[in-house]
Amino acid sequence: MIKTIDHGPIRELRLDRPPVNALSPELVVALRDAIEASPAGGARAIVLSGSPGRFSGGLDVPLLLTLDRPAIEAMWRDFYSLLGAIAGSAIPIVAAITGHGPAGGTVLAIFCDYRIMAEGDYRLGMNEVRVGIPLPPAILAGLRRLVGRRTAEQLAVSGAVLSAQEAFKAGLVDEIVPQDRVVDHAIDWCKGLLALPPEAMTGTRRLARADLEAIFQTGIDAELKVVVAGWWSAETQSVLRMLAERLGKKVG
Q: Which fold has domain 2-194?
A: 2-enoyl-CoA Hydratase; Chain A, domain 1 (3.90.226)
Report how far residue 130's alpha carbon sits from residue 158's, in angstroms, rounded to the nearest whole number: 8
Measured in residues, the chain has a length of 252
Q: Give 248's pLDDT tier (boundaries 50, 70, 90).
A: confident
What HEC string does 115-166 produce?
Answer: EEEECCCCEEECCCHHHCCCCCHHHHHHHHHHHCHHHHHHHHHHCCCEEHHH
More confident residue, 109 or 134: 109
| Among candidate residues 24, 192, 165, the one with its CA nearest the CA of residue 92 | 192
Q: At what angle do helices 137-147 and 220-231 cross, to 10 degrees?
A: 110
Report how far residue 107's alpha carbon sits from residue 135's, in angstroms, rounded to the nearest whole number: 10
Q: What is the pLDDT of residue 249?
A: 62
Q: Domain map of the chain by residue range?
A: 2-194
Q: Other CB atoms closer than 10 Å to residue 180's CB: what's the count? A: 10
Instruction: Read off the pLDDT of each residue in 214-236 and give the average, rounded to a whole number.
Output: 94
Helix (H, G, I), strand (E, B) or coil at 24: coil
| Among candidate residues 198, 236, 176, 152, the one with its CA nearest the CA of residue 39 | 198
Q: Other CB atoms closer than 10 Å to residue 240's CB: what's the count? A: 20
Flag whether pLDDT at 92 surpasses 50: yes
Tens digits of per-residue pLDDT, 149-183? 999 999 999 999 999 999 999 999 999 999 999 99
Flag whether pLDDT at 216 surpasses 60: yes
